[in-house]
Amino acid sequence: MAVSSVHQQPRDRSIIDNRAPHVARLFLDRVQASPDAEAYRFLDGGQWKSMTWSQAGDAVERLAAGLIALGVQPGQRVALASSTRLEWILVNLAVMLAGAATTTVYPSTNADEVGYILADSASVLVFAEDDAQVAKLQANRAGLPDVLTVISIDGLSDGDWVISLDELRELGAEQLRQRPHAVMERVAGIRADDLATLIYTSGTTGRPKGVRLLHSSLTYEAATVASIGDLSADDLQLLWLPLAHVFGNVLLLLPLQIGFATAVDGRVEAIVDNLAAVRPTFMGAVPRILEKAHARINTVARADGAARARLFDWAVRVGHRATAAQRSATPMSAQLKLSWAIADRLVLSKVRARFGGRLRFFNSGSAALDPEIAEWFEAIGIRVLEGYGLTETSAASFCNRLANAQLGTVGWPFPDTEVQLADDGEIMLRGPGVMDGYHNLPEATAQAITSDGWFYTGDIGTLDELGYLRITDRKKDLFKTSGGKYVSPAAIESTFRACCPYLSQVLIYGEGKKYVTALITLDPDALAGWAATHGMSGWEYRQIATATATRELVQTHIDQLNSRLNRWETIKRFAILDRDLSIAEGELTPSMKLRRALVTDRFGSQLTALYD
């Protein structure tokens, strides 16, 4: 069943047809089109500073010349191990202009896996954010004969293997003095079907696989989003997502195509302050960040006494009714219009002010978004547009549009992307965004992509008659209980997410077992608010999580969940962990997906105890 093209019509098809052949050209065209406009906003000594496109163009050209001076050849890989910051962006663009390809490495990746990625990609240079990243490379040096030089972004030269970013800039300046056209000559040789970036999928199991994304796929992503018309040069994004992940990576390409500015700061804990200071008009997010913001605002609203809490709840209810009417195109009564205006003035506008006051929408991707969270945001006046895609499809292949978003779905496919459902409901995608293949893994590539270009996503979904896609399952995660019944942990986890406001993470377990169990962690903010009203004010998370009252609270939500499940899927027993799962401990991927195998292994004794 291929989706009819009527749903895929872009507002401006010519943007896709005339798209830049490669990322270097996309960037150079942007610098030429709006040299004096703001390109990037970044923190320097705690102050936000700006850089124009023409300044970015000069900085990138110098860095690219430095790479050429260091001997980087067209098509070679240059690795980048850093958190989200201005230098990440400029270095990545410099690699593009030098005709090379970027390999992305998360700063949280352990030394062993960093060694694997650098060797598998045969990277010839590595940019390392700081001494901690350099130390991981030193630990692997013997196994990395291809790595000629390491460039430390914050650190200094060691007079041997490591040079500083300033030294690279000096090399670049010298190169340009001697060969002013060195970089532009390189750019002239880049082709649309050259490798642009090699992104290692963070992988919930096993060794990561290098996903080969070509220039043509990246410029397609940028052009297809631009063609939809929901973003303009006047927008301003706040970018905090890990740039080693494809979602963040693509959010860097959109400004090159469309021309808006990007404020960049990768610190997750600073998002709320940054929203208020930067006042962006949109932001890409993963669902967990939206859940946290929702929990925090609800906790704060309850901290000022019962009267304020009632006013807040009333205002959100009114917002819900008004936006539900708008969604279903039902006329609003005069009474509802009036209440909405009052609710907005007294409460909702103040909540929006916490997000800077200008936010038009969040883009949510990378995992399933609970529709109730999306509805709550809509009720306070901020849209949430959910999208869907994979590293293997250069990020989003589907996205909701402002004009016709449907909550609970991931929207329509991008123009020129085709979708089909296999007999078992697996989503298959074909189009310019699909990867070239897995690096060095021809068999895995042949398994994933058919000879006529269809990519098997491993996700299960349904398409409605208007072409909206719903993601219902993840094929790879299904397990069978000892009773021979299939259980979809992802589906149960997302149902639980929707019915337990105190939840942070949940892992559903039961492969080959008699019954299904769950490991649970609770959201520290939401939990603290509840604990304060249950005689546990000021207690630490660990104490609250292990209290009997907390167990009873979770049990009531488990009961609600069980009432919605098939008998063989119901959670018979659960354990609440005494700390939350984290990226730092490796239990969540940097895009905040649960690493099932690792968590199951690490908390094996708690799981075993559930079957005693």
Give residues in contact with ligand AMP (CB under 6 A).
201-202, 246, 365-368, 386, 388, 390-391, 410, 457-459, 471, 474, 591
Nearest distance from C-beta of residue 460 to ligand AMP, angstroms: 9
298 contact partners, CB below 8 Å, separation of at least 6: 501, 526, 529
- Tell me the closest approach of the beta carbon of residue 458 to ligand AMP, in angstroms: 6
Cite the beta strand spans of 415-468 per DSSP E. Answer: 418-421, 426-430, 437-438, 455-463
Q: Shortest distance, CB of residue 461 to ligand AMP, whole angstroms? A: 9
- Look up tokens 């609250």; give the residue: 544
Element (H, E) at 91: helix 86-97
Q: Say how far apart CA 72 and CA 61 lie, in whole Å.
A: 14
- The residue among 362, 436, 521 whose CA lies nearest residue 197 is 436
> Looking at the DSSP assignment, which residues form a beta bridge with residue 47?
44
CA–CA gap between residue 187 and residue 184 (Å, rounded): 5
Distance from C-alpha of 244 to C-alpha of 590, rounded to nearest angstrom: 9
Q: Tell me the closest approach of the beta carbon of residue 152 to ligand AMP, in angstroms.
A: 28
Residue nearest to ligand AMP (CB): 391
CB 528 within 8 A of CB 537: no
Q: How far is the CB of 346 from ligand AMP (least distance, A)?
A: 34
Minimum distance from residue 230 beta carbon to ligand AMP (Å)? 17
Continuous segment of H or E residues that includes residue 221: helix 215-228
Q: Is 268 helix (H, G, I), strand (E, B) or coil?
A: helix
Q: Which is nearer to ligand AMP, 200 or 260 (CB)?
A: 200
Cβ-based nearer residue to ligand AMP, 344 or 459: 459
Encoding tokens for residue 184? 């532009």
DSSP string, 106-160: -TTS-HHHHHHHHHHHT-SEEEESSHHHHHHHHHHGGG-TT--EEEESSS---SS
Q: Nearer to ligand AMP by C-beta: 202 or 262?
A: 202
Q: Are 24 and 96 in contact (CB under 8 A)?
A: yes
Beta-carbon-side half-sphere exposure of residue 324 (alpha carbons within 13 Å): 12
